[in-house]
Structure 1
Amino acid sequence: MLTTTTLTFLLTLGAVVANPTTEPWTRSRKCGTYMSDAKMMAAERHFVAQAAKILPEAKIANKAVKVYFHVISKDSTVAGGNVPAYQIANQMSVLNRDYGGNINWVLAGTTRTVNADWFNKVGPSSSQQTAMKAALRSGGRADLNVYTVGFKSGTGVGLLGYATFPFTYSSAPKDDGIVILFGSLPGGSTPRYNLGRTLTHETGHWLGLFHTFQGGCTSSGTANGGDFVADTPSQKYPSEGCPRGQDSCRGSSFPGSDAIQNFMDYSTDICMTQFSAGQIARATKQFATYRA
């Protein structure tokens, strides 16, 4: 059952939303909702309190996180969402390459379901999402479930993907996981966003990372906002395209050119190349705290 708390975090932190009024070739990453600093800080206070109980050596380096892929399609064709096995294999390669061996991922299984209602209408808070996840989710708190759908209508229209956060698992374990647009897999049908970086980005949320622009032009990790990572500069707004040299927070107390190549920004797939060391440290600590 999707709880109010889980839905709030889903909508405010985990949604990478495309403009539903445009054609796929002009799709861009845009966040669908806003999260107040108060709610973000409440989640962070909980993490800090829980993380204090975790031994420093508790890490997921060298541990293979199981990934279960659930392919939802409207028919048996690739255009209808039935992504081929080689695209899933390529997506796993991208995921492992992007996390640079700091976190390792292994494909544990693939299910295929022809259900036009789910394919078209799955989205945050939808009844289709609840039914889909209840029927298909595999594994436990340490296992990643990925669902590929079409996002054609309803609350998911225009989305590229969305994810749950590690701190919501205990209240809604069946809801845990990531839902992405089937065309975002490597070689998929969504130009500019078909190199597999949507799953990399959403997996960052699943591991407890915020957007690089969370909080705007404020010091990272303060009560005013920030992504709680010290080595990502402040950023006023999400990037679009690949605006090299962009500095949206000149003169701020946490200066530096925007991290447009960071996987937690909204740049195009080809522009995204890295996580910061601080993000990897946060992700492993979040995993140890909530998923180990």
Structure 2
Amino acid sequence: MNQIASLIAKKRDLAKNEMEYEKSILFDVYTLTLVLLLICNIILNIILGQYHSLIIFAMAALFMLGTLFMPDKIRFNSNLLFLLFLFLGFFIFYFDTISGEGCMNYLSYVSLTIALSFFFDHIRDRWFIFFLVVSYLIWFLVNAGTHYYLSQFFSVNLNLEQQWYVRIYKIFEISFCTFIGMYFIYRKERVLIKYYVEKERLNAIIQKTDKINFSGELYDLAMSKNSLFITYFKSQFPDFFDKILAASPNLISSELEICALLKLNLTTKEMAIATNSTIRAIENKKYRIRRKLDLASETDINLYIINNF
């Protein structure tokens, strides 16, 4: 446990910014929450004498604990997280099936669904979230809609007292996960408010400096739709396009132009004027750029490009 505590304490030093640090810490805490719930399931199965399930819960707990020592690049990988949560959902379906309706194991789907909001980006990973929620719903309906028909093939035959113990635990699990979820929402909102206040302050500084510096040069060329804009931009930022293409080789020319305008901290309306496009078209291009750069929804794309390229 000391190693885990020291690992979490080092996150702030390794993080590039406070938002990244906060995301990593929330990820760590919720991972430990899932480990705690798995350990509780192990204890419950020992009490009930269901020893055949212990190894599955123990392996799941050890794996979740091991993720704390993985690099954030791997831990935050949406594809790996999707497979993990798909497995956990099937895990719940299996134990819901073998224990029967009286144990109310299906309530664990609620805990898992709450966790989705902390492990996935609700914009970038919306299809992953949708598929997982639908999968959980289907697995729940398979048992509920058939009155646990499959239980007759896998049932562990818990008596009424044992089922009562399981129900009490499930109520505790849901209450605990709900409390953790509410706390995380509060903490995330507090950090976001601080982030946007800081963003507005930085935007004000940037608008007072960059646009003044480029008002007679790059800014005017961009707003007048001058064909020399990109050429002059390259002379001012010779490494910009090389760096951004190294980060995302799939960016096309029209998106690179938007990236250049973002570098100048132009607003969406100004970019629409500069490119003779609609505001909606610019928003769509910014969204595609955000996806190709793999940016989280809370990351300001203007500041990201200004600070990193």
| Larger-gyration structure (1/2) | 2
- With normalisation by structure 2, the TM-score equals 0.22
- With normalisation by structure 1, the TM-score equals 0.23
